[in-house]
Amino acid sequence: MAQDKSPRRPRAETPKGFRDYFGAEVTERAAMLAQIAEVYHRYGFDPLETSAVETVEALGKFLPDVDRPNEGVFAWQDEDQDWLALRYDLTAPLARVAAQYRNDLPSPYRRYAMGPVWRNEKPGPGRFRQFYQCDADTVGSASVAADAEICAMLSDALETVGIPRGDYLVKVNNRKVLNGVMEVAGVLDPADPDKFAHERGIVLRAIDKIDRLGPDGVRALLGAGRKDESGDFTKGAGLSEAQAEVVMGFMAARRADAASTVARLRELVGTSAIGAEGVQELETIAALLTAQGYGPDRIDLDPGVVRGLGYYTGPVFEAELTFEILDEKGRKRSFGSVAGGGRYDDLVKRFTGQAVPATGVSIGVDRLLAALRAKGRIGQEATPGPVVVTVMDRDRMADYMAIVSDLRAAGIRAEMYLGNPKNFGNQLKYADKRQSPVAIIQGADEAARGVVQVKDLILGAKIAAAASVEEWKAQPAQTEVPRADLVAAVRRILGRP
């Protein structure tokens, strides 16, 4: 008789496209979020925390990865037949909040939000299905001064977290200008906005790939199509050479200063009313930023900025890190975009039927952290662990807990060893693994005399690695201090450079 098979053990692995974060990574992210929040708060924005789950109807369908189930969101049907999904960004929930609480919120409503979002997209190197975003939005203001303020705040946030001027650039464009160029190129009909929608989508995606494909690659996508190095063919927008030249001229419209760029864009949009409106908005934004001291070394006009999401209706902006890093093969490459946003005046309208102007920005926190690590600005030094109070006598656990309590009351991170205390060497190995700066030792003899042994683990490691016998004697890594002086002794060690 065959024996029953034992239950299959679950695999101890993260799902594809997800990862775990430990100690220093979590601490670094929390510190960065706090720094960005301080900037947002200084600008007058209030925090908002929404549910991680929204109805699919409320989220809308804006993700580009349409080949994935549920168009790129993690969704499921609830018991009452409603379809729910994990939020894929922090903007769609804001639109729902702005509509749901419109009679209670101030107008304009200025909020910031931070937290994880989830996208059911194909994972790749450095691309995960869960990641953190850090948003700030103004809902209820049609003034482009709100857009200019978002750009200034983004610049301040980048510098606050450790990206100096010269290592980043906030680029600003306007979807209305692009629409004007599309009108001139013959792929947008103001009387029938849905006409040529497919072609415009291809044009937008092509423009957005200019940095990766170059002018020739974009020109091919504007025309019949493009075959990549692997032989795969991507069908193009089917524009004529003359039409494609108009779009290419738009991407090359950036000039040495904002005034010259505006003048060139004005030429390109010709008689298009929507295009002229967009150019005027860009000119106003540039003037407002200049008045605040944000020059082209920090924020500049760039017609190459498109932003992929379909809900942008006016100014769009993107923060790009301009320094180079080495990829996994040791090749130099630009780090690229770490934040983006723009104006989305029609998003709240989905709920209310009334146009509600809005603009905002989203910072990709995980990408920004990766950039700082790549430049060696964080993560170079191990985060110190807690002071470890060792256990020499099981019957004196209360005494050891009292020592831990005194250290914590003094604001010192500390813990008591909770493993098997039989092997003292294992306790010190544990302290090393925890990267503890100090270990506290008190046996029965020390307790009777009212003293403790304070072991400086950092100094001990340095002495063991390089010191002579004389230096060892001159700088003992373990000292005996009165129990009453324990906190002061630990503070001296922690305060030493």
Superfamily of domain covering 387-495: Anticodon-binding domain (3.40.50.800)
CATH number of 23-187+239-374: 3.30.930.10
Maximum alpha-carbon separation in the chain: 94
Looking at 275-423, which runs of residues are DSSP E strands? 299-301, 315-326, 332-343, 358-364, 387-389, 414-416
pLDDT score at 61: 62
Show pLDDT as tens, one digit a residue, over the chain (497 residues).
Answer: 556 677 888 999 999 989 998 888 899 999 999 999 999 999 999 999 999 999 988 887 645 444 444 568 888 888 887 889 999 999 999 999 999 999 999 999 999 999 999 988 888 777 789 999 999 999 999 999 999 999 999 999 999 999 999 999 999 999 999 889 889 888 888 888 888 888 888 888 888 777 778 888 888 888 888 888 887 888 888 888 888 888 888 888 889 889 999 999 999 998 999 999 999 999 999 999 999 999 999 999 998 888 766 678 899 999 999 887 766 666 777 778 899 999 988 888 889 898 899 999 999 998 899 888 887 777 656 678 999 999 999 899 999 999 999 999 999 999 999 999 888 999 999 999 999 999 999 999 999 999 999 999 987 666 655 555 455 445 568 899 999 999 999 999 998 76
In 3D space, the residue among 318, 320, 277, 288 whose CA is nearest the CA of residue 173 turns out to be 318
Query: Cα separation of 194 and 187, whole Å?
Result: 10
- Backbone phi, psi, residue 322, to 5°: -95, -10
pLDDT score at 1: 52
Q: Are 316 and 120 in contact (CB under 8 A)?
A: no
CA distance to 146, 288, 359, per residue, from 143 (Å): 6, 12, 10
In 3D space, the residue among 224, 216, 226, 217 whose CA is nearest the CA of residue 240 turns out to be 224
Q: Are 439 and 387 in contact (CB under 8 A)?
A: yes
75-77, strands of its sheet edge to edge = 53-55, 83-86, 75-77
pLDDT score at 381: 63
* DSSP at 383: P
Contact residues for 52 (Cβ-Cβ < 8 A; gap 6+): 86, 87, 115, 116, 118
pLDDT score at 252: 86
* DSSP at 328: T
User: Between 210-222 and 241-251, two packed helices, what is the crossing angle to 10 degrees?
Assistant: 160
pTM of the model: 0.83
- Return the amino acid letter for 396: R
Q: Which residue has the tokens 């037949």?
A: 81
Q: Are 78 and 86 in contact (CB under 8 A)?
A: no
Residues 102-129 as b or e (16 or more Cβ within 10 Å = b): beebeebbbbbbbbebbbbbeeeeeebb
CATH 3.40.50.800 region(s) of the chain? Answer: 387-495
Which residues are 115's β-sheet partners? 133
pLDDT score at 71: 66
168-174, strands of its sheet edge to edge = 46-47, 109-118, 130-139, 358-364, 332-343, 315-326, 168-174, 299-301
Q: Are 367 and 338 in contact (CB under 8 A)?
A: yes
**Terminus-to-terminus CA distance in the chain, angstroms?**
71
3-class secondary structure, 418: coil
pLDDT score at 328: 65
Query: Cα separation of 254 and 242, whole Å?
Result: 20
pLDDT score at 66: 46
Nearest-5° Cα angle at 31, 27 to 33: 115
* 3-class secondary structure per residue, 232-289: CEEECCCCCHHHHHHHHHHHCCCCCCHHHHHHHHHHHHCCCHHHHHHHHHHHHHHHHH
Conformational region of residue 60, where left means phi above 0, alpha means psi within -120 to 50, and beta covers everything else: left
pLDDT score at 447: 95
CATH 3.30.930.10 region(s) of the chain? Answer: 23-187+239-374
pLDDT score at 372: 87
pLDDT tens for 207-234 read 877 777 888 888 888 888 888 888 788 8
Task: Please count the CA atoms within 13 angstroms of the CA of 181 that sit on its side-chain side.
Answer: 32
Q: Are 459 and 379 in contact (CB under 8 A)?
A: no
Contact residues for 176 (Cβ-Cβ < 8 A; gap 6+): 274, 275, 277, 278, 281, 313, 314
Cis peptide upstream of residue 116 (ω within 30 degrees of 0): no
Query: Cα separation of 227 and 246, whole Å?
Result: 23
3-class secondary structure, 78: coil
Query: Cα separation of 449 and 441, whole Å?
Result: 13
Query: Cα separation of 365 and 376, whole Å?
Result: 17
Query: Cα separation of 475 and 484, whole Å?
Result: 23
In 3D space, the residue among 152, 121, 150, 155 whose CA is nearest the CA of residue 138 turns out to be 150
Contact residues for 400 (Cβ-Cβ < 8 A; gap 6+): 389, 390, 391, 416, 442
